[in-house]
Amino acid sequence: MGFTPAQNLGLLTLRAGVGGVLFAHGAQKLFGWFGGHGIEGSAGAFDQMGFQPGRANAMAAGVAEAGGGTLIALGLATPVAGSVAAGTMIAAASVHAPNGFFAADGGYEYPALLGLSSAALSLTGPGDWSLDAVLGDRLNRPWMAGAGLLASSVLSAVLVQRRRRAVAARQAEPAARAAADSPATPAAASSDPTPHRGSGSSGC
């Protein structure tokens, strides 16, 4: 595609770094590699975060990260791989968003960086030192980046909205349970204090 050697080296370095990090995170979720919890532990974590069902969402995230990272590193189907990875990072960033931006405070800085880098590679392409170039860029068409990023953004927005509803419902459960368990209000006593005739009262 006419990249200079320096540009190709830069793209290769970026692909290897971003793809390698994504693969490692996906492998943690799927296989428990690199100190990860594997699919069962990840499923429980996803349930706690509000991505339900947890196992299906953990599996999807793991495949997107490990598979997308591998394809990015190889430079194969780069527009699709970059779009999938970027969409996954949107969902990840939504979990950290309440903590602000910086990673030191638990913010969304890290997934945002990975997502933006993946999206950038989707738009620029992998360069000449890639499997896409070897295959004649059949899987690296200009329209694929736009379509992929749009589709992944919409899907991520749906997932984030579903998560917010699940979290809101969970937070409302204690209040609803407390209201259900509280004793019923006693019936109000009669407002007429005068004893009724024939009630057995000792009054004259």
Domain boundaries along the sequence of the chain? 10-173
Mean pLDDT of the chain: 90
Tens digits of per-residue pLDDT, 33-82? Answer: 999 999 999 999 999 999 999 999 999 999 999 999 999 999 999 999 99
Hunting for tokens 């069902």 — which residue is that?
A: 53
Give dist(CA 18, CA 70) in Å, integer: 10
Written as six digits, the tokens of 184 are: 């019923």
For 16, the token pair is 């290897």
pTM of the entire structure?
Answer: 0.84
H helices present in the chain, as ranges: 5-31, 38-49, 54-74, 78-96, 109-124, 131-134, 142-181
- How far is Cα 34 from Cα 27, in angstroms, rounded to an integer? 8
CA distance 128 to 2: 8
| Residue 48 confidence (pLDDT) | 94
Q: Which residues does 31 contact at the CB level (< 8 Å), separation at least 6?
A: 38, 39
The region of weakest confidence among 1-5, 32-36, 76-80, 142-146 is 1-5
* pLDDT attached to residue 2: 84
**91 CB neighbour count, 10 Å cutoff:** 24
CA dist 29 and 58 (Å) reads 7
> What was the pLDDT predicted at 200?
42
Spell 152-175 as b/e; 16+ CB within 10 A means b. beeebeebbeebeeeeeeeeeeee
Alpha-carbon gap, residue 187 to 142, rounded angstroms: 73
Segment among 42-46, 58-62, 161-165, 171-175 with least mean pLDDT: 171-175
DSSP per-residue string spanning 63-82: HHHHHHHHHHHHTSSHHHHH
